[in-house]
């Protein structure tokens, strides 16, 4: 599904996109992927999902973490760098699998972009919205706990991020991204990924940062425009990542990339009061 936000990126943002294509060794071309198989989501199956809307059009996905806070990718709501677009241009639809209808549309009160965001690293933003009323179709996703290795306490994070999501861990994503034929899906789609270890992601894409989760999938599948900001969940329905970007054209041979949530728990908590 075409992402209208692409047309509102700054010149710097476009240069960054070009750099990503260069890193991947793939030329930019029209999207050929879809969100990992494009299986329809049932109503209430992913109740934490949100459609982030810019000038009344869907641009990205998001995930509800509380009655007043939604996480999404920073580049979805960035004007220039860490300066967000005007909140008067933003809204969020929740409580429906249809990006065009149903559920409710809520106002955005404020946007906080991670202060280190740049070049698609630390690609995370928190939207404060009008209070949501939770139901079977609107609910918060569980955040991960960060245990001290071997202690069972939740004070500091482990240094080995691959211990959190070992290579090959099944994870799941649902969003409203562009489909393989370039059309816009009105109904939310879901699919499966497997995580890649840092070393394998570095080998395959030169992107082995501990602040991200790399996602493997078959070629001609994967996240595409409109999927950024979607929740990456594990078998326990715990939020492990927020989708960020794909290298080159959608569905390329390179892994997709998500922002690792456990890396940012302190920042998320500090900006969710």
pLDDT value of position 101: 94
Q: Do the two domains 4-41+144-263 and 49-140+265-270 of this chain adopt the same fold?
A: yes
Name the pLDDT band for 79 (thresholds 50, 70, 90).
very high
* CA distance between the termini of the chain: 34
pLDDT tens string 7-21: 333 333 433 333 333
pLDDT value of position 124: 98
The percentage of residues in the chain with a pLDDT greater than 90, rounded to a whole number, is: 70
The reported pTM is 0.83
Query: Which fold does the domain 4-41+144-263 belong to in CATH?
Result: Thrombin, subunit H (2.40.10)
Name the pLDDT band for 207 (thresholds 50, 70, 90).
very high
Query: Which fold does the domain 49-140+265-270 belong to in CATH?
Result: Thrombin, subunit H (2.40.10)
Nearest to 235 by CA among 174, 173, 170: 170
pLDDT tens string 132-181: 999 999 999 999 986 544 434 433 344 688 999 999 999 999 999 887 77
pLDDT value of position 178: 86
Average pLDDT of the chain is 84
pLDDT value of position 147: 59
The domain ranges of the chain are 4-41+144-263, 49-140+265-270
Name the pLDDT band for 199 (thresholds 50, 70, 90).
very high
pLDDT tens string 216-266: 988 888 899 899 999 999 999 999 999 999 998 888 899 999 999 999 999
């Amino acid at each position: 599904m075409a992402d209208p936000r692409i047309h509102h990126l700054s010149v710097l943002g476009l240069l960054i996109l070009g750099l990503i294509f260069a890193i991947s060794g793939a030329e930019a071309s029209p999207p050929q992927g879809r969100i990992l198989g494009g299986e329809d989501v049932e109503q209430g199956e992913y109740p934490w999902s949100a459609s982030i809307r810019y000038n009344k059009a869907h641009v990205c996905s998001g995930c509800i973490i509380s009655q007043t806070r939604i996480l999404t990718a920073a580049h979805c709501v960035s004007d220039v760098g860490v300066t967000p677009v005007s909140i008067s241009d933003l809204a969020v639809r929740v409580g429906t699998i249809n990006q065009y209808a149903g559920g409710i549309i809520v106002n955005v009160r404020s946007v906080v972009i991670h202060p280190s965001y740049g070049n698609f690293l630390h690609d995370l933003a928190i939207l404060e919205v009008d209070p949501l009323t939770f139901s079977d179709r609107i609910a918060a996703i569980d955040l991960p706990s960060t245990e001290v290795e071997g202690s069972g306490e939740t004070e500091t994070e482990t240094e080995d991020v691959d211990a959190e999501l070992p290579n090959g861990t099944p994870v799941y994503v649902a969003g409203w991204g562009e489909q393989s034929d370039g059309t816009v899906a009105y109904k939310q789609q879901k699919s499966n990924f497997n995580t890649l270890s840092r070393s394998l992601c570095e080998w395959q894409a030169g992107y082995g940062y501990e602040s991200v989760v790399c996602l493997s999938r078959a070629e001609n599948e994967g996240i595409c425009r409109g999927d950024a900001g979607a929740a990456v969940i594990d078998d326990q329905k715990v939020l492990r990542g927020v989708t960020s970007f794909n290298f080159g054209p959608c569905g390329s041979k390179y892994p997709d990339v998500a922002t690792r949530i456990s890396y940012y728990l302190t920042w998320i908590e500090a900006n969710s009061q």
